[in-house]
Amino acid sequence: FKPAITGTGVFTPENIITNDELVASFNAYADKMNAVNAKAIDAGEMAPLQHSSSEFIVKASGIEQRHVLDKEGVLNPDVMHPQLRQRDDDEPGVMTEMALDACKKALAQAQVEASEIDLVICAASNMERAYPAIAIEIQKELGAGGFAFDMNVACSSATFGIQAAADMVRAGSVRKAIVVNPEICSGHLEWRDRDCHFIFGDVATASVIERSEDAKGAHFEIISTRCATQFSNNIRNNNGFLRRSRPDGVIDRRDMQFMQNGRKVFKEVVPMVSTHMLSHIAEEGISADQLSRLWLHQANKSMNDFIGKKVLGRTPEDGEQPNILQDYANTSSAGSIIAFSKFSDDLTPGDYGVICSFGAGYSVGSVLLKRR
């Protein structure tokens, strides 16, 4: 069978934090910490925290604002992280709640009933708990059948999830699947670190994958997918269930939030991604000038500019490689799916495009699509 993406949905949290709001809060935090540590700073035992700046953020990343589940906690200089209500075990978790909104939109676009779904994959950078699987809770709340499981490939979770679902649809073991990516990046971003406090936002995306011949309208056939990984410590988060087992009983250590060596990531990932995309399309006998659209992972504008230029062999024209990071920031695995969801309707039958993710791991995933 030929698998296809027949619907996508995006859940966007209402709260927006602009760069100026973010920087004002960070600078207030820095001033507060510098006052608290004034003695050590004066004695030269400690470096003062430096101010952040909106100009730097736009120039270094292209990000202008981000959506978050909780704005108050993040912006409060005495808190500096989201504060999310503890839920009873009997009510849906926050990831499920975000996922349901995105799934319902994707199902409506595909004109598929939730009860027809026989595979739910919750693919995201972090799960709010280890078990029971978030995907199984989503399956129950949606009223879907079949089976469900969670997977985590950081920023490449969505494309790796699409590959898993597409392969099962292709093989006939699954008829209709939904891959959902609820990303609460605000929960594991270190908002107190000037080098990265601007990078992430929250969102959820969902994609319905079924047989092309079952599609009720215009859709995208998945010609093929390619996934690759290569171990790197340059993006890392050391949080996990062994936290309490550490000799120092750690509850708040810097390495338990998002950490990265941004420059190295930039340098190493750009060639890896462009080579990956070019060899994927070459193996399908497709040349770069046959691609009408690139929906890239949304981490950094210059990074995308480089990759687009490398893949197409020229500067991409307006709209050929749409960015959404100015509005959403980096939303990990959901970024390329937001771009796909918002900028794909105008393609005409026969047009080719590639969704491509890249990030921690390192991991790279590409999905070659043909408009039908």
User: Six-digit token pair at 243?
Assistant: 């936290």
Interface region with ligand CO8, contact rule CB under 6 A, candidates 28-36, 39-47, 261-269, 317-325: 261-269
SS3 content of the chain, % helix, strand, coil (to 5): 40, 25, 40
CA atoms within 13 A on the CB side of 166: 25
- Binding of ligand CO8 by 67 (CB under 6 A): no
Beta pairing, strands 119-123 & 147-151: parallel
Binder of ligand CO8 out of 29, 200, 220, 328 (CB under 6 A): 200
260 three-state secondary structure: strand
User: Six-digit token pair at 158?
Assistant: 């969505």
Quick one: 15 or 125, whose CB is closer to ligand CO8? 125
- 155 flagged as catalytic: yes
- Binding of ligand CO8 by 299 (CB under 6 A): yes
d(Cα 36, Cα 58) in Å, to the nearest integer?
A: 30
Contact set for ligand CO8, span 309-338 (CB under 6 A) = 330, 332
Residue 297 C-beta: closest distance to ligand CO8, Å: 8
Going by the DSSP 8-state scheme, the letter that residue 293 receives in this structure is E
Residue 218 C-beta: closest distance to ligand CO8, Å: 31
Residue 291 C-beta: closest distance to ligand CO8, Å: 22
Q: What is the CA radius of gyration of the chain?
A: 21
DSSP string, 148-168: EEEE--GGGHHHHHHHHHHHH
For tokens 């708990």, what's the residue?
129
Interface region with ligand CO8, contact rule CB under 6 A, candidates 69-77, 87-95, 182-190, 306-314: 182-190
Residue 236 C-beta: closest distance to ligand CO8, Å: 9
Binder of ligand CO8 out of 76, 262, 305, 326 (CB under 6 A): 262
Interface region with ligand CO8, contact rule CB under 6 A, candidates 32-40, 68-76, 94-102, 260-268: 260-268
Binder of ligand CO8 out of 31, 167, 195, 268 (CB under 6 A): 195
> Beta-carbon neighbour count of residue 287 at 10 Å?
12
User: Six-digit token pair at 167?
Assistant: 């392969």
Active-site residue among 155, 185, 227, 356? 155
d(Cα 350, Cα 52) in Å, to the nearest integer?
A: 47
- Binding of ligand CO8 by 192 (CB under 6 A): no
Interface region with ligand CO8, contact rule CB under 6 A, candidates 11-19, 164-172, 195-203, 344-352: 195-203
d(Cα 271, Cα 311) in Å, to the nearest integer?
A: 10
- Binding of ligand CO8 by 300 (CB under 6 A): yes
d(Cα 212, Cα 216) in Å, to the nearest integer?
A: 9
Quick one: 105 or 194, whose CB is closer to ligand CO8? 194
Quick one: 76 or 239, whose CB is closer to ligand CO8? 239
Interface region with ligand CO8, contact rule CB under 6 A, candidates 55-63, 88-96, 161-169, 279-287: 55-63
- Binding of ligand CO8 by 169 (CB under 6 A): no
| Amino acid identity, position 38 | A
Residue 356 C-beta: closest distance to ligand CO8, Å: 13
- Binding of ligand CO8 by 266 (CB under 6 A): yes
CA angle 263, 269, 270 (to 5 degrees): 95
- Binding of ligand CO8 by 360 (CB under 6 A): yes
Quick one: 121 or 223, whose CB is closer to ligand CO8? 121
Question: At CB < 8 A and 24+ separation, what contacts does 29-33 make?
Answer: 29/77, 29/80, 29/192, 30/194, 32/77, 32/78
- Binding of ligand CO8 by 276 (CB under 6 A): no
> Beta-carbon neighbour count of residue 266 at 10 Å?
16
- Binding of ligand CO8 by 357 (CB under 6 A): no
CA distances in angstroms from 135 to 130, 253, 313, listed in the order given: 11, 29, 40
Q: How many residues does the chain have?
A: 372
Binding interface with ligand CO8 (CB under 6 A): 52-53, 56-57, 60-61, 125, 154-155, 185, 188-189, 194-195, 198, 200, 235, 258, 260, 262-263, 265-266, 299-300, 303, 330, 332, 359-360
What positions carry a catalytic annotation? 155
